[in-house]
Structure 1
Amino acid sequence: MSQHLPHILPGLPPQVEEGFAAYQTTKQFYHEVQTRLEFQRYCEWYSVTAEQNRQDLKKMRGEVNILRWFRRS
C-alpha cells in the first residue's frame, strides 16, 4: 500500500542547485586534469623504458654469443 503513495521531496533553493552544479563541474575538471597528467607521466615513462630496452638490445647484439660455441658440433 505504501508503494502507491507519492514521494514528497522538497525542492532545493536555486542557490543550492547552482552551488552543486559549480562543485560538480570543478570536481570533473580536476579529475580530467589528474587523468591527463597521469597519462602524460605514463607516456614519458614508456618512452624512457623503450629507449633503455633498445639500448640493451643493441648492446646484447654486439656481445659474443657463448651458447653458439656449445651448439657447434
Structure 2
Amino acid sequence: MSDSFSYLIPIPPVAINAYFEVYPVTYAFYEEAKLRQDHAECCQWYAQVADQHRQELAQMQGEWNPLQWFYRGRRA
C-alpha cells in the first residue's frame, strides 16, 4: 500500500484494547487519590473545629450562668 493512503488504514485493535484496559485502573487510582485527599482535608477541618469548641467550652465553664439560679431547686 502506498504512503498516500496510510491515513485510511485503521488503528490496530490491540492498541485500542490496551487503552480501554488501562483507563478504568487509572480512573480508579485518581478517584482514590482524590477521595483520600478530601478525607484528609475533612479530618483537618474537624480537628480545627473540635479544638475551637474545646476552647469555647473551657471559657464557658468559667463564666457565671444566670439560668442556674432558676434551676437550682429542680435538680433531682
Q: TM-score range by the shorter chain?
A: 0.7 to 0.9
Q: Deviations over 1:10-32 (max 9, x none)?
A: xx922111011122221111101
The verdict on how the C-alpha distance between 1:29 and 1:71 changes in structure 2, with shifts beyond 3 A counting, is closer
Q: Distance in 1 between matches of 2:43 and 2:68?
A: 38
Q: What is the count of residue pairs matched by the alignment?
A: 62
CA RMSD of aligned residues (A): 1.8
Q: What's 1:44 paired with?
A: 44
Unaligned segments of structure 1, at least 5 residues: 1-11
Change (3 A) 1:72 1:44: closer
1:66 aligns with 2:66: yes
Please tell me the residue identity of whatever aligns with 2:16: V
- Structure 1 length normalisation: TM-score? 0.73
Gaps of at least 5 residues in structure 2 are 1-11
Q: CA 1:24/1:67 → structure 2, altered by over 3 Å: closer, same or farther?
A: same
1:21 counterpart = 2:21 = yes
Give the percent of matched residue pairs that are identical in Structure 1 and Structure 2: 39
Q: Compute the TM-score of the two structures, normalised by the length of structure 2.
A: 0.71
